[in-house]
Each structure stands twice: as structure tokens, then as C-alpha cells.
A = this chain, B = another copy of it.
Amino acid sequence: MTASALVAERAAMVSAAIDGAFDTLLAVPDDARAALYDAMRHAAIGGGKRLRPLLVRAACDLFNISPDSALRAGLAVECIHVYSLVHDDLPAMDDDDMRRGKPTVHKAFDEAAAILAGDCLQSFAFGILADEQTHPDPFVRVELVKALALASGAAGMAGGQAMDLAAENSRFDLATVTRLQSLKTGALIGFCVDAAAIMARIPPEGRTGLHGYARDIGLAFQIADDLIDVEGDAAAAGKALGKDAAAGKETFVSLLGAERAREQALLLVDQAKAHLHGFDARADLLRAIADYIVERDR
């Protein structure tokens, strides 16, 4: 099986499982909270590549972690990812009308629903990780919570988003853009592989290869995203493009040029795969995901 066929097959399985899990988690209650749940369902179900849950699943392949545990850790990280999209799309933030080919939550509902839906998805993420269904060992569960709080909060994703907002009024250099993106997208991607290592009880000093892999594919992913923003097709992307340049933000593409940025992404993918040299065929899905990340913009 080719790398892209492997990714496609496993991504379809993971997507179906995540949609099913969201459908259960977000069953609409028969009271005045119905609109809140409808807003969460609109944001969470039936869209997106589910790259993060796929990464959790792929990293879990290395350690024979149960599919149920991998799915629940993936569901938690997807809750965080979806909440961040809902909040980032708000008029006060990136002001986007379309996401995954559908109206954004504040367009389909209203801003209050979007704020609350995001808030609730964040609390679901931690509730999922803390539940026995995710893993029988409470130490593992609490380590997952700690890692996700760090990766998603001010020291991770949300901190990166704050830097991104500041970027509109600054001239960031390559080092600062790299730091921004390592927080904004890299931290949560790092959590995905870390979750597998935590569930496998691999001590932190045994995770350097996986962390290197995550850091490299995180940056490659962001470069690919920047290339899509410049060269891509809005209909295929399911969202508005060309926004970084319009906002005067420096990106990998504005700083390096498209050609060097693309070369850099390919280099990062090779480097990411080199970090997996200690693993055998169990790392094939992780390797295929690294290739997929830079191919998706073609």
C-alpha cells in the first residue's frame, strides 16, 4: 500500500470513529441548553481532516495502546482543536465566515453561542481525559490532563494565537515566527504523540525521537498551510485564503519565498522520518502522515 493510501484508509476510519464519538458526547439535551449543543455539533461533527486524532492513533501503533484509549485521547485533542477554531473564527479574532466549507458557528448561530460552545468543548476535553474509559491508570489520566493543559493554554496553542494577534502590529523575524507556530500549532501536535508515550508509560527521556518527529511535522504542516494560504484554492480549503498577507503578517512564505519554503517543508519531513529510525514497520503510519502533510497542498 502506498503512503497516501495508508493515510487515506486510516484517516477514514479515525474520522468515522471521531464523528460517532462526538455524536454520543454531544447528544442534545431536552432543555434550554439545546442551542448550545447544536452549536457544538455544528462545529465538531462532519468536517476536518482529524489529523490530530490520526496522529494519536499512529503514535499509539508504536506501543500497542488499545484503539479505545487512542480514540478517547484523540477525541480530547480534537475538542481542543475545534474549540480553538470556533473562537479564532470570531469577529474579534480572525473574523471568518466559512470553515470546513460550512458557515462558522457565530454565523450559523450567534457570537454568544460560539463563545460558549468553545468554552464547553474545552471542558469536555479535560473531562474525557480524566474519565476511566480513557485509561485504567489514574496516573496516566492525570498526566494526559497535565500535558493537554500545557499544550493548549497560554504556554501552548492559545499563547501562540495571542502572539499571532500581536503579529499584525509587528515585524516578526523567522525565529519569532518559528516560535509562534511552535506554540500555535506545534504544541497540540506534540501532545498527540506525547499522549501515546504517556499511555505507554515511556519516561520523558525516552520520548526525544517522538518529540523531534512532532516538532518537525508541526513546522512542515504550518509551512504547507502558509503555502495553501498563498497558492491554494479557497473552495478546496473550505475557508477564506490570502488572509495573512492582507493582515500584513509575516509567515514562512513571506520570509523565505514560496520555493525555499517548500524545500524547507520537504527537508523537515525527511528529518521527521529520521527521528523514527528506532522504530520498525509500526511507525509506517507516522512516516506516511509526514509525507501526507506536505503533499496535501498540491
Contacts and interface: CB of A to CB of B under 8 A. Distances in A.
Interface stretch (A55-63, A157-165, A254-262, A288-296): A157-165
B154 A126 contact: no
Contacts of A93: 112, 115
Nearest to A94: B112
5 contacts: A112-B165, A113-B165, A126-B148, A127-B150, A138-B141
B126 A126 contact: yes
A111 B167 CA distance: 16
Interface residues of A, number: 55
A13 to B, nearest CB: 28
A192 B138 CA distance: 21
Contacts of A138: 138-139, 141-143
Given A32-B172, A120-B153, 11 more contacts: A33-B166, A87-B116, A90-B115, A93-B115, A116-B161, A116-B165, A118-B119, A119-B119, A122-B122, A126-B145, A126-B148
Interface in A27-83: 31-33, 35-37, 40, 83
Given A87-B115, A123-B122, A131-B146, A32 B170 contact: yes
A207 B47 CA distance: 42
A149 interface: yes
Interface in A104-144: 110-113, 115-116, 118-120, 122-124, 126-127, 129-131, 138-139, 141-143
Contact of A158 (B35, B119, B146, B163): B119
Contacts of A282: none
A152 interface: yes
A197 interface: no
A247 B222 CA distance: 45
Please give the count of copies of this chain that the complex contains. 2
A134 to B, nearest CB: 10
Contacts of A152: 123
A180 B33 CA distance: 10
Contacts of A201: none
Contacts of A129: 145
A158 to B, nearest CB: 5
Nearest to A92: B111
A179 interface: yes
Contacts of A37: 154
B123 A176 contact: no
A159 B33 contact: yes
A112 B162 CA distance: 8
A162 B33 contact: yes
Contacts of A111: 90, 92
Nearest to A37: B154
Of A36, A93, A110, most B-chain CB atoms within 10 Å: A36
A40 B131 contact: no
